[in-house]
Amino acid sequence: MSLVSNYTCRVLNLLNFDKLLHLNRKNNRIGQLIELFIRRQNRQRLCLVNKRQKVKKQEHFTLNKFVLIQSFLGISFGGKSEPEVEKNSTRIMSGKKLDELVLHADQLFDENKYSDTIELLKSYEEQDTYEIQWRLARALYSLSKTDESKKKELVDEAFNYAKRALELNENHFAAHKWYAVLLDTKSGLEGTKQRVQSLENFQKHLQRALELNPQDATTWYILGEYYYGLADLNWMTRKVVQVVFANPPSATFEQALECYEKAENISPDFYSLNKLSLGKTFLQLNNKEKAKEFLTKASNVDVLNEDDKKCKEEALKLLKKC
């Protein structure tokens, strides 16, 4: 029995050993598979990391390239470049900003600083608004009176701005007013015939300016000058007018006086030359008492610009006729 038992134990031990060996081998295979899987995972992770690093390098290169282009062109997307030089023409001006600009420009103009007015407005010229364009026309026209050598050049430039203002807004009185003024001035520099040929167009724009704003004193003054000029035409110019027009325009000194008086009533003392024109017209109508009244006022104006100088000098001469 003991022999059988011993044999049996040995057999059982052998069987257990084989199972254990088989199990161990099986476990080794599983371990190898796990190790292989882990190695593959590590390789995939390494490839992914390398790929990401490569993409990151490309993105960094592309970004640096883009920043270089930005710097070269001076443009910015979503931020400010350093250093930034802001130009007025690169942005559309807000209504508030435009109001501040024209207020400053009008102040400079009223102080007879025409060159400063032009410089300021031209720095915003690319905004291309009628408010800037007609003010440039006005300032250049006023500057043209101070320099005879550059008069034609300045008037031509002013006319182009007035024309552009009218193109931008044909329903604003100032655009029509300054277009009329510069059309007459420009054609006058070109010759009597050219000026006569422009009279109809000049009057049309002046009348339109008054329709849009009947309370503008300057426009009434200009219309008065137009009527005075027609009433005071010399013989030669009158003949040219008759040749150019089938129905030549005509006017009287009474019409001119009405315009000057309306201008003065709307805005007393607004313009020295309006006083001079009132004095001249009363003199033409043989009302020497009234002529002397306004010519005396005209002769006493403070000389702040070329118009004041002309007013004072001419008034002093005409007073001798009263």
pLDDT at 12 over 50: no
- Supply the pLDDT for residue 37: 53
What mean pLDDT comes out for the span 25-29? 52
pLDDT at 189 over 80: yes
Angle, alpha carbons 15-20-21 (nearest 5°)? 95
Per mean pLDDT, which range of 175-184, 188-197, 266-275, 310-319 is the poorest? 188-197
4/234: higher pLDDT: 234
Domain 98-191 in CATH 1.10.150.110? The answer is no
Q: Is the dihedral of CA 292, 296, 299, 303 positive or negative?
A: negative
Inter-CA distances, 171 with 4, 205, 206, 213, Å: 129, 11, 13, 10
3-state DSSP helix/strand/coil % of the chain, to nearest 5: 80, 0, 20
Inter-CA distances, 21 with 10, 29, 35, 116, 131, Å: 16, 12, 20, 105, 101
Per-residue pLDDT band for 303 (boundaries 50, 70, 90) equals very high
Which value, in Å, is the radius of gyration of the alpha carbons in the chain? 45
**Start-to-end C-alpha separation, the chain:** 170
Per-residue pLDDT band for 87 (boundaries 50, 70, 90) equals very low
Query: Domain 215-322 sits in which CATH superfamily?
Result: Tetratricopeptide repeat domain (1.25.40.10)
Q: Is the dihedral of CA 148, 154, 156, 161 positive or negative?
A: negative
CA–CA gap between residue 285 and residue 227 (Å, rounded)? 14
- Supply the pLDDT for residue 249: 86
Per-residue pLDDT band for 96 (boundaries 50, 70, 90) equals confident
- Supply the pLDDT for residue 322: 87
Per-residue pLDDT band for 48 (boundaries 50, 70, 90) equals low
CB–CB of 153/141 below 8 Å? no
176/28: higher pLDDT: 176
pLDDT at 145 over 60: yes
Same topology, domains 98-191 and 215-322? Answer is yes
Per mean pLDDT, which range of 33-42, 168-177, 231-240, 241-250 is the poorest? 33-42
What mean pLDDT comes out for the span 129-137? 97
- Supply the pLDDT for residue 234: 87
Domain extent listing, the chain = 98-191, 215-322
CB–CB of 318/295 below 8 Å? yes
- Supply the pLDDT for residue 193: 86
CA–CA gap between residue 267 and residue 86 (Å, rounded)? 41
What mean pLDDT comes out for the span 6-31? 46
Per mean pLDDT, which range of 2-16, 91-105, 221-235 is the poorest? 2-16
CA–CA gap between residue 302 and residue 287 (Å, rounded)? 26
Per-residue pLDDT band for 30 (boundaries 50, 70, 90) equals low
CB–CB of 210/216 below 8 Å? yes
Percent of the residues in the chain that have a pLDDT greater than 70, as a whole number: 71
